[in-house]
């Protein structure tokens, strides 16, 4: 290729899709060889250059632990000992204050207060300790690293819109998810893995539906779509070569495709062909790097033990927590981990206990493990349901049993790492854990604060779609500086 | 998923490459010679920077300044007019945008808007100096056909070329030459049918083209539109993007993401394209087919367009909220698809850029919010349900079959209803003799007292029955005292009677006429010595009817389980009921007995009390009791208790073995997971194999059996695999055997006590399916349960006819083989009718409510914030002009007419642009989904308008439009851009060459199936489920979702065109998604075209593509008669339409050779690869005498064919 115009054009094109404005000094071959899968996944010929951070980021990556179904803050983190004396009393109307009810309890004639059956202990943190339920002793053990927000609130009262809101900043469908925004804004730090990965664990409790939209790219380029990774033999769909095809056979086939495509490029001057060749090479490398990713055999016994007995079980929350750490370690920007099964409308004490046993040790291990490896500093670990649960019992209240309905007005979320304050509690609720009494934090606020740590002014990280600038925080959100170190 | 590159293209008109600055809807500075044009040059600059605060939306307007119209911008203000026409220096606008002080300069820093560049400032200055002329946005003015430009050279036959070449000439660009013939045919077929040409088609075309290119070309265009199979392929290909636009899918999208039928709508679209339905009709029928006068079935089906949106079935959802969301979706979709407008922005406030007010929005909304539908849909087990409102779409054959079934059923039932007179006479004899035969005697007794614990008034009527009135508490116990002088009493008959004073005259006193008897308690007291009293132990019961939605059988009146009882379903038919109880031991005191009968009504259902009862007493000798049938309770099950291995499964005990209660609150602990409990199983029946959970596990099933006296019984069992049987907690039989369940595999004799017995069957499953079979083999002379009715004393029921019919039925069943045969015939017919009904397609339609819902502007767009001060009537946005009929409420049909009015400025432009986008990859307006002020300026405005006007004049003829475009030289140019065009216009906006672009995921898959010969072509029908990786549905679905488990299709379903692939919104077809298909949750008009590693993985490893590669290799081998080179050439040509050159052939040959050696060294690998996919080997099926290749050669050919399917040239339209 001696034609100078041609060379300039190709370089121009590559720069655009690689987001590598400064690599012009490399020869074409060198450039190609250095292309990373991440940049190819997130850049793209038809995509404007990555916006990049607006200021120096405190955090490089996010692990988003979504407790799908809405765990009960009253039985885990929002300690209300005074409720003991109010067992089975009607929730005062002044507290409920015309609150919208779901169709599931709107027919209930009374709203009896159900004090938590769980005992709470005070665990040391940077303040006067954090109250954590007996259901989560390991989590209590890492309270020094956690930033509890007891004053989270959301707009939606049913799962589908609430999860959509928590993931995309809008209750309506069609918006990009947080991970897609992070991928769009920051790109990947890894040559061989997507910038945004999604892990799913099934809990024993009452589950709710998931949907591609929760990790979708909306109107952003499809490259920013979350890539589901399953533990087990087939971690990414279509990753595995068909039966009978060896690595060397694949290489031969791939070489043939590359050589034929190269000839086509010379005939057609189609710059897209170089991209395609590079993408196929990345696919080839990904076939090796992903199985290595999900293979825990290089983990020490201590590490495996720390995550608990289920760590080797494919798809378990423990296994996925470890996988999340491995992804973080490899530079994946955004890991979205769903734990299903928190929707305890009835039999809450039993279901919550079963769910908690599966998440408590692994999530604490994740914090410790990241800390030990020096990763917690620049990794945001966020733990939340899409809403909390009501203080009053749904269905029959007995001394041993109760259920709780959805509660969007106040619930507890915790964040660790990534420049968030360690060992604090923020915000508070009333005696019933029903209404926020100080420092409310909305979903948009939380998103804005997390984006801030990733180096973005949430009002400026926008994408123009159908003539309008859209952002993760829609038209709201404020950075909650009080949460930041 | 917009593609800014395309936008970029438009900016590159006659500019130097360095001047490229293009963000969103902005264009860059035009060459200095051209006059500045507001719409093209200035409005985008102001819109981007100023209009959010100084535009149409009053709620966010700052400083009361508005810059979007001449009148406002030039109005007098304190600081002088913002714009002084003809004088930029005196204009406040100019002063502020050029201000040196950043605090004064506009736009302010806090707005996060880019400032004006020097070039842009120069433009603004020139515009103001030239008089600041405002123009209406181009797209909001009806199109007028411009004069076709006259080119300097030879006049162009096709006006499209004249328009395009004029622009090229201005830019100083030469167009590329015509593409090679083989690529031309490929381009045409891929664009119009979505499939590449066959080798024969390529050869034929080459010959024809050499003779007369123009004739060959037009003949092919005609053929595609007029001949099969091309017309159907055309329809299938054109329908595909319409599915995105109309957000078509096979599931509901939210919560359980339930399956639903609306594919007949998709088939309607196919037929519309096949028959070239004029676009105005295409639009009208989809928006308002249901409102057309004399709407046909097809019209109704078409209206399903507005039902394709997502719907919810989440329990807590609020109806009103989702009704609003559905209407919103219809507004947004209609606005985007037909008008190219982003109406959605005006839901919460006036549009920030386009002149759509919030009121306009809700006027449009009012067309769509009166559908007769729920907001929250129910959940049903069937994934084939059509959501209401829907219509049935039976085929003619199905209609005929339905009538035939009905007639046959009527005939059979007539036979069943007319027993012969001989039969009737015999039956009469039987009934007359039965009491004597049994030794049954009914006795005299007087009700001497009737009291209610709850305070109801109980009156003893003359006929001896007891009627309740007055207070009707939630729970109650009625005590009736019967006095009798008889002894040896063993039977008690309870008639539950209606009364005019009750709801519907039904026997229950509850609001709905129902009642539940939770206990019956009988105590005999001696009248001679009242200290002598004994509790009567009832051992057996029978009732003529009980509810079966839970365990509501008569045995529940024995109070073995809390909270339930004998429920009589009084809320259904309101019929009277009868029950019979027997005691194992006779009772009654010499000298007279007062019998205290206490009837308990203590269920959770309030006031479910019998209002009118009569009790009779009788004596049934011991021998007669032996002829009574056993009384069976409902089945319960607990399990499965899953095991890691079958070892020790028979010995493992989990607790239910020794349980005799079936109490629903007992916990049994499995090896892992939460505790399990007994569950009532209304689905379990005796005498048929019942399925149990598959896997390695233990399950328990059980029930209670009440026997009138101690009795020995033989039971017939089946099980998968072995079993243990427990009677009253004791093991009585066990068998360890690996087998599938079948009837009557084992027989066991068991001993029943008088009264209650518990039967528990433990079934051990060592893997695979599970199941059991249970049948009690009663003695031959035992009365059938229904014949027990003949034992009753003549009842006091108002209408004993129902009981008579029951007796007649049972008696004939026992005696008449012909009757049994006719019954079997009836049940077959009923089953056939049910199967037919289930197979009749249904499809969702629009159906307006009789009374339209009132519509109000919703504050901030929230469903519960309707503003009562702002009611609205249906109507289109005022700024687009056009009129609706006056004097009545406008309908969707009026809207359709308004849209298809030739004066509508948007509809034809948007439609024409969509076709252009389909043919060139990019529309003339690059933002095909936004023609508003923030949309892109058209690359060829005059051409767009000329095409739009012609489209309307042609009668909205889509085929004519396409014919005219593909007939142009512009369409037929080579995709290799000329050198200068590559530099000046790298994105090919000026169309110097044909813009190459990647094929859609559908076309890539369909092309692979077609090239390999696997494609199964069949127009229309239910959606199919081709290959996809396991587990992708389960991973996201809820347990109760009816689309939780993906069941791969069989046979032809694997190889149909992609437009038929089942679309589950929560987990869309993964390979299509990888190639940028949207999720179909909202309307999508412009798919992105990405290039990712995951796409390479799909093409390499998706079972569908591996199988296609194998078939392609085999097919080429057969066609080439075993000649390797020919086969290799053909493989590539089938994929790319191109004949490889010698160098490429050498590459192919070398790779084939290498791979063959590699597979020869690993024959098991070769066999494994050849085993991928369900399609049988073509070599095995081929009748040709070609020498079959070795497995190694076949495997190597498969991988080489896979390479061919992966080529850039294969998956690219060029």
Which tens digit of pLDDT belongs to each residue from B748-770? Answer: 999 999 999 999 999 999 888 89
**CB spacing of A467 vs B24 below 8 angstroms:** yes
Angle B1044-B1046-B1051 from CA coordinates, rounded to 5° = 155
> pLDDT band at B352, cuts 50/70/90?
confident
Confidence (pLDDT) at A93? 85
Q: Which residues of A touch B1073 (CB under 8 A)?
A: 212, 225
Candidates A19, A159, A256, A314, partner chain B, best to mutate (most B CBs within 10 A)? A256
Pairing verdict, β A227-228 and A334-340: unpaired
Q: How does residue B833 score in pLDDT terms, banded at 50, 70 and 90? A: very high
Work out the burial of residue B407: count CB atoms within 10 Å of its CB; fewer than 13 is exposed, 13-18 middle, 19 or more buried. Answer: exposed
Chain A residues inside the 8 Å CB shell of B1159: 244, 249
Tell me the pLDDT tens digit for each residue of B281-324. Answer: 999 999 999 999 999 999 999 999 999 999 999 888 889 999 99
Return the residue in B1208, B1213, B1214 with the most chain A beta carbons within 10 A, the one to mutate for interface testing. B1208
- The winner for highest mean pLDDT among A188-192, B146-150, B230-234, B347-351 is B230-234
For A241, other C-beta atoms within 10 Å of its C-beta total 18
B1018 — pLDDT class (breaks 50, 70, 90): very high
Residue-by-residue DSSP string for A264-283: HHHHH--THHHHHHHHHHHH
* pLDDT, average across residues B1122-1133: 96
Mutate: best of B1092, B1104, B1172, B1213, partner A, most A CBs <10 A: B1092
Mean pLDDT of chain B: 91
Write out the H or E segment, with its range, that includes residue B615: strand B612-619
Helices (H), ranges, B795-866: 801-815, 817-839
Question: What percent of chain B stands above pLDDT 70?
Answer: 96
**Portion of chain B with pLDDT greater than 90, in percent:** 68
Q: How many CB atoms lie within 10 A of CB A397?
A: 19
> Is the pLDDT reported for residue B11 higher than 80?
no
pLDDT at B500: 87
pLDDT digit string, tens, across residues B878-913: 889 888 888 999 999 999 999 999 999 999 999 999
Q: Say which range, A78-82, B388-392, B546-550, has the weakest mean pLDDT.
A: B546-550
Q: Closest approach of chain A CAs to the CA of B153, in angstroms? A: 28
Which residues in A lie closer than 8 A to residue B1031 (C-beta atoms)? 230
The pLDDT score that the predictor gives to residue B663 is: 86
Q: What pLDDT does residue A232 have?
A: 66
Q: What is the mean pLDDT of each run of 10 residues along chain A (485 residues)?
A: 34 32 29 35 41 90 96 97 92 82 70 94 95 97 97 92 94 88 88 88 84 85 82 83 96 97 92 88 91 93 96 91 96 95 91 95 98 97 97 86 93 97 97 95 98 95 83 93 96
Distance of residue A334 Cα from the nearest chain B Cα, in angstroms = 18
The answer to whether residue B35 scores a pLDDT higher than 80 is no
B109, B375, B1063, B1203, best to mutate vs chain A, most A CBs in 10 Å: B1203
Q: What is the DSSP string of B1143-1183?
A: HHHHHHHHHHHHHHHHHHH-HHHHHHHHT-SSSPPHHHH--
pTM: 0.76
Q: Nearest by CB to A264, which of B1102, B1195, B1209? A: B1209
Is residue B353 pLDDT above 70, yes or no?
A: yes
CA distance A127 to chain B (A): 37
* Joined tokens for residue A289: 């790097």
Q: How far is B952 from chain A, CA to nearest CA, in Å?
A: 26
Cα separation, B540 vs B557, in Å, equals 11
Question: Within 10 A of B304 (CB to CB), how many other CB atoms are there?
Answer: 28
**Chain B, nearest residue to A3 by Cα:** B979
- pLDDT (0 to 100) of residue B12: 31
Contact, A383 vs A450, CB < 8 A? no
**Which residue of chain A comes nearest to B179, CA vs CA?**
A268
> What is the distance between the alpha carbons of residues B1050 and B1045, in angstroms, rounded to a whole number?
15
Provide mean pLDDT across the span B556-584: 87
Confidence class for position B925, pLDDT limits 50, 70, 90: very high
Contact check, Cβ <8 Å, A467/B318 = no
Compute the nearest-CA separation of A320 from chain B (Å). Answer: 14
Per-residue pLDDT at B631: 95
Per-residue pLDDT averaged across B1015-1028, rounded? Answer: 97
Q: Which residue out of A237, A240, A338, A395 would a mutagenesis test of the B interface target, given it has the greatest number of B Cβ atoms within 10 Å?
A: A237
Model pLDDT, residue B695: 84
- The answer to whether residue B620 scores a pLDDT higher than 50 is yes
Q: Which two tokens stand for residue B14?
A: 């006659």
DSSP 8-state class, residue B312: B
Q: What is the mean pLDDT of residues B821-831?
A: 93
CB distance B1100–A275 less than 8 Å? no
* pLDDT per residue as tens digits for the range B1059-1103: 999 999 999 999 999 998 988 988 999 887 888 889 999 999 999
CA distance A300 to chain B (A): 27
Is the CA virtual torsion B917, A175, B303, B930 positive or negative? negative
pLDDT of amino acid A107: 64
CA of A151 vs chain B CAs: smallest distance (Å): 24
Interchain contact, B1067 vs A220, CB within 8 Å: no
Chains A & B: contacts with CB separation below 8 Å:
290
pLDDT at B7 over 50: no
- Looking at residue A104, what is its pLDDT? 67
**CA torsion angle for B678, B679, B684, B690 (degrees, to 10)?**
-60
Please report the pLDDT score of residue B118 as a whole number.
86
Nearest to B5 among A46, A243, A244 (CB): A46
Closest of A386, A338, A48 to residue A215, by C-alpha = A338
The DSSP code for A187 is -
Helix, strand, or coil (residue B638): strand
Q: How confident is the model at residue B937 (pLDDT cuts 50, 70, 90)?
A: confident
The predicted-structure confidence for B624-653, as pLDDT tens digits, reads as follows 888 999 999 999 999 899 888 888 889 999
Query: What is the C-alpha separation between B427 and B433, in angstroms, rounded?
Result: 10
Distance of residue A76 Cα from the nearest chain B Cα, in angstroms: 20
User: If pLDDT is split at 50, 70 and 90, which confidence band does B152 have?
Assistant: low
Contact at CB, B1092 and A269, closer than 8 angstroms: no
Nearest to A260 among B23, B1092, B1207 (CB): B1207
Chain A residues with CB-CB distance to B1090 below 8 A? 44, 46, 221-223
Instruction: Spell out which residues of chain B touch residue A211, defining contact as CB-CB under 8 Å.
Output: 253, 257, 1036, 1065-1067
* pLDDT for the residue A228: 86
B956 φψ region: left (φ > 0), alpha (ψ -120 to 50), beta (else): left
How does B1031-1070 read in b/e, with b if 16+ C-beta sit within 10 Å? Answer: bbbebbbbeebbbbebeebeeebbbbbbbbbbbbbbbbbb
Q: Do B1101 and A238 touch (CB under 8 A)?
A: yes
User: Are B789 and B807 within 8 A, CB to CB?
Assistant: yes
């Amino acid at each position: 290729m001696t034609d100078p115009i041609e060379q300039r054009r190709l370089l121009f094109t590559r720069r655009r899709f690689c987001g590598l404005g400064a690599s012009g000094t490399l020869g074409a071959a060198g450039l190609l060889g250095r292309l990373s899968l991440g940049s190819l996944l997130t850049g793209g010929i038809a995509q404007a250059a990555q916006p990049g951070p607006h200021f120096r980021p405190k955090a490089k990556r996010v692990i988003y632990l979504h407790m799908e179904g809405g765990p009960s803050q009253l039985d885990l983190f929002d300690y209300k000992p005074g409720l003991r004396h109010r067992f089975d009393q009607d929730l005062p109307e002044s507290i409920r204050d015309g609150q919208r009810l779901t169709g599931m309890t709107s027919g209930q004639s009374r709203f009896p207060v159900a004090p938590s059956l769980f005992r709470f202990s005070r665990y040391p943190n940077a303040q006067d300790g954090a109250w954590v339920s007996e259901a989560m002793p390991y989590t209590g053990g890492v309270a020094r690293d956690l930033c509890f927000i007891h004053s989270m609130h959301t707009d939606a009262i049913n799962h589908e819109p609430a999860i959509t809101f928590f993931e995309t900043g809008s209750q309506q469908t069609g918006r990009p998810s947080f991970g897609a925004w992070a991928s769009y804004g920051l790109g990947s730090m890894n040559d061989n893995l997507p910038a945004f990965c999604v892990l799913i664990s099934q809990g024993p409790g009452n589950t709710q539906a998931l949907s591609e939209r929760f990790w979708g790219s909306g109107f952003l380029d499809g490259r920013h779509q979350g890539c589901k990774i399953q533990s087990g033999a087939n971690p990414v769909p279509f990753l595995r070569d068909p039966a009978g095809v060896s690595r060397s056979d694949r290489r031969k086939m791939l070489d043939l495709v590359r050589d034929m495509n190269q000839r086509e490029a010379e005939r057609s001057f189609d710059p897209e062909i170089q991209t395609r060749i590079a993408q196929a090479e990345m696919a080839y490398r990904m076939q090796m790097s992903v199985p290595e990713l999900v293979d825990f055999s290089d983990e020490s016994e201590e590490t495996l033990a720390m995550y608990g007995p289920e760590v080797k079980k494919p798809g378990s929350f423990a296994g996925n927590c470890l996988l999340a750490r491995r992804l973080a370690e490899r530079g994946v920007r955004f890991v979205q981990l769903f734990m299903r099964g928190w929707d305890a409308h009835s039999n809450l004490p039993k279901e919550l206990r079963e769910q908690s046993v599966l998440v408590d040790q692994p999530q604490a291990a994740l914090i410790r493990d990241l800390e030990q490896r020096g990763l917690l500093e620049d990794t945001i670990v966020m733990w939340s349901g899409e809403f909390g649960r009501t203080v009053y019992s749904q269905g029959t209240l007995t001394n041993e049993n109760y259920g709780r309905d959805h509660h969007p007005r106040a619930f507890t979320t915790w964040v660790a790492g990534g420049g968030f304050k360690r060992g604090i509690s923020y915000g508070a609720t009333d005696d019933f854990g029903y209404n926020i009494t100080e420092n409310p934090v909305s979903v948009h606020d939380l998103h804005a604060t997390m984006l801030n740590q990733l180096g973005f002014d949430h009002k400026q990280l926008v994408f123009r779609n159908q003539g309008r600038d859209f952002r993760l925080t829609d038209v709201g959100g404020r950075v909650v500086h009080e949460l930041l170190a | 998923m917009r593609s800014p590159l395309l936008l970029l293209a438009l900016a590159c008109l006659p500019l130097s490459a360095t001047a490229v600055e293009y963000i969103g809807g902005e264009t860059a500075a035009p060459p200095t010679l051209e006059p500045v044009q507001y719409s093209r040059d200035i409005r985008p600059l102001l819109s981007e920077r100023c209009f959010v605060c100084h535009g149409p939306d009053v709620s966010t307007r700052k400083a009361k300044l508005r810059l979007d119209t001449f009148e406002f911008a030039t109005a007098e203000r304190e600081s002088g007019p913002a714009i002084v026409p003809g004088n930029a220096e005196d204009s406040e606008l100019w002063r502020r945008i050029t201000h040196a002080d950043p605090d004064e300069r506009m736009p302010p820093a806090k707005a996060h808007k880019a400032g004006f560049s020097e070039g842009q400032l120069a433009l603004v200055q020139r515009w103001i100096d030239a008089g600041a002329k405002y123009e209406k946005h181009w797209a909001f003015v009806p199109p007028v056909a411009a004069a076709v430009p006259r080119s300097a050279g030879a006049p162009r036959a096709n006006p499209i070329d004249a328009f395009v070449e004029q622009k090229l000439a201005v830019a100083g660009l030469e167009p590329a030459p015509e593409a090679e013939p083989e690529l031309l045919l490929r381009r045409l077929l891929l664009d119009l049918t979505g499939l590449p040409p066959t080798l024969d088609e390529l050869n034929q075309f080459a010959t024809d083209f050499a003779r007369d290119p123009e004739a060959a070309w037009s003949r092919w265009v005609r053929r595609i539109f007029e001949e099969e199979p091309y017309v159907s392929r055309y329809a299938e290909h054109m329908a595909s993007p319409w599915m995105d636009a109309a957000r078509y899918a096979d599931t509901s999208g939210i919560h359980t993401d339930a399956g639903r039928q609306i594919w007949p709508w998709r088939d309607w679209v196919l037929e519309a394209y096949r028959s070239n339905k004029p676009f105005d009709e295409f639009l009208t029928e989809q928006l308002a087919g249901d409102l057309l006068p004399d709407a046909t079935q097809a019209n109704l089906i078409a209206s399903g367009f507005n039902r394709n949106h997502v719907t919810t079935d989440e329990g807590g959802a609020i109806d009103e909220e989702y009704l609003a969301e559905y209407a919103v979706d219809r507004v947004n979709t209609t606005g985007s698809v037909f008008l190219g407008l982003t109406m959605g922005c005006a839901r919460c406030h006036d549009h920030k850029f386009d002149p759509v007010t919030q009121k306009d929005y809700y006027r449009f909304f009012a067309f769509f919010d009166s559908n007769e539908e729920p907001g929250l849909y129910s959940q049903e087990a069937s994934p084939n349900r059509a959501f209401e409102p829907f219509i049935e779409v039976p085929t003619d054959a199905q209609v005929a079959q339905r009538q035939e079934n009905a007639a046959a059923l009527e005939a059979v039932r007539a036979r069943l209803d007319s027993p012969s007179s001989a039969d009737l006479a015999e039956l009469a004899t039987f009934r007359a003799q039965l009491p004597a035969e049994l030794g049954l005697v009914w006795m005299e007794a007087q009700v001497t007292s009737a009291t209610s614990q709850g305070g109801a008034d109980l009156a003893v009527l003359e006929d001896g029955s007891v009627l309740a009135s007055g207070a009707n508490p939630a729970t109650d116990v009625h005590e009736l005292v019967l006095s009798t002088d008889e002894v040896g009493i063993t039977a008690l008959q309870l008639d539950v009677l209606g009364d005019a004073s009750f709801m519907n005259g039904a026997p229950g006193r509850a609001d709905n006429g129902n009642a539940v008897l939770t206990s019956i308690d009988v105590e005999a007291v001696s009248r001679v010595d009242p200290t002598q009293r004994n509790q009567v132990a009832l051992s057996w019961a029978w009732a003529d009817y009980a509810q079966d939605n839970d365990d509501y059988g008569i045995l529940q009146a024995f109070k073995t389980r809390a909270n339930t009882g004998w429920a009589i379903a009084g809320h259904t038919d309101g019929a009277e009921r009868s029950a019979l109880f027997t005691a194992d031991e006779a009772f009654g005191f010499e000298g007279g007995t007062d019998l205290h009968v206490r009837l308990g009504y203590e269920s959770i259902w309030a006031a479910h009390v019998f209002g009118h009862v009569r009790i009779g007493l009788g004596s049934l000798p011991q021998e007669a009791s032996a002829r009574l049938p056993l009384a069976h309770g409902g089945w319960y099950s607990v399990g499965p208790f899953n095991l890691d291995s079958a070892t020790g499964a028979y010995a493992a005990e989990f607790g239910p073995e020794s349980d005799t209660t079936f109490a629903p609150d007992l916990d049994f602990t499995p090896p892992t997971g939460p505790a399990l409990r007994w569950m009532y199983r209304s689905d379990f029946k005796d005498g048929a194999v019942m399925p149990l959970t598959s896997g390695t596990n233990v399950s328990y099933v059980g029930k209670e059996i009440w026997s009138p006296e101690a009795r020995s019984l033989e039971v017939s069992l089946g099980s998968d695999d072995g079993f243990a049987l427990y009677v009253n907690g004791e093991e009585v039989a066990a068998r360890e055997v690996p087998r599938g369940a079948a009837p009557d595999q084992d027989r066991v004799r068991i001993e029943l006590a008088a009264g209650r017995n518990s039967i528990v069957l433990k079934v051990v499953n060592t893997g695979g399916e599970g199941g059991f079979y249970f049948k009690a083999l009663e003695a031959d002379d035992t009365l059938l349960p229904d014949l027990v009715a003949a034992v009753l004393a003549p009842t006091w029921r108002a209408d004993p006819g129902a009981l008579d019919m029951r007796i007649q039925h049972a008696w004939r069943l026992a005696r008449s083989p012909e009757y049994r045969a006719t019954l079997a015939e009836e049940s077959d017919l009923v089953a056939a009718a049910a199967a037919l009904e289930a197979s009749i397609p249904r499809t969702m339609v629009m159906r307006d409510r009789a009374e339209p819902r009132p519509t109000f502007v919703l504050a901030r767009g929230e469903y519960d914030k309707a503003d009562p001060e702002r009611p609205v009537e249906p109507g289109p946005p005022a700024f687009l002009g056009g009129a609706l009929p006056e004097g009545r409420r406008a309908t969707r049909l009026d809207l359709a007419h308004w849209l298809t009015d030739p004066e509508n400025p948007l509809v034809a432009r948007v439609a024409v642009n969509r076709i252009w986008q389909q043919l060139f990859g990019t529309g003339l307006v690059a933002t095909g989904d936004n023609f508003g002020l923030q949309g892109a300026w058209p690359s060829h405005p005059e051409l767009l308008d000329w095409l739009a006007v012609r489209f309307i004049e042609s009668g909205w003829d889509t085929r004519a439009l396409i014919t005219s475009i593909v007939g142009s030289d512009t369409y037929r140019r080579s995709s290799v851009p000329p050198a200068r065009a590559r530099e000046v216009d790298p994105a090919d906006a000026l169309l110097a060459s044909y813009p190459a672009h990647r094929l859609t995921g559908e076309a890539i898959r369909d092309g692979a199936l077609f090239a390999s010969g696997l494609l199964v072509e069949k127009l229309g029908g239910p959606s199919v489920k081709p290959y996809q990786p396991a587990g992708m549905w389960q991973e996201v679905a809820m347990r109760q979702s009816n689309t939780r488990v993906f069941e791969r299709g069989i046979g032809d379903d694997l190889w149909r065109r992609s437009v038929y692939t089942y679309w589950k919104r929560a987990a869309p077809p993964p390979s299509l998604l990888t190639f940028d298909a949207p999720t179909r949750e909202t309307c999508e008009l412009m798919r992105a075209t990405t290039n990712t590693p995951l796409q390479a993985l799909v093409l390499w490893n998706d079972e569908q593509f591996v199988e296609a590669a194998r078939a392609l290799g085999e097919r080429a081998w057969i066609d080439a008669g075993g000649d390797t080179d020919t086969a290799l050439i053909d493989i590539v040509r089938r994929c790319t339409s191109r004949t490889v050159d010698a160098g490429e052939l050498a590459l192919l040959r070398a790779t084939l050779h290498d791979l063959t050696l590699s597979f020869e060294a690993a024959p098991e690998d070769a066999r494994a690869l050849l085993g991928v996919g369900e399609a049988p080997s073509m070599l095995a099926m081929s009748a040709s005498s070609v020498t079959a290749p070795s497995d190694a050669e076949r495997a190597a050919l498969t991988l080489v064919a896979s390479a061919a399917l992966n080529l850039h040239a294969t998956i690219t339209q060029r």
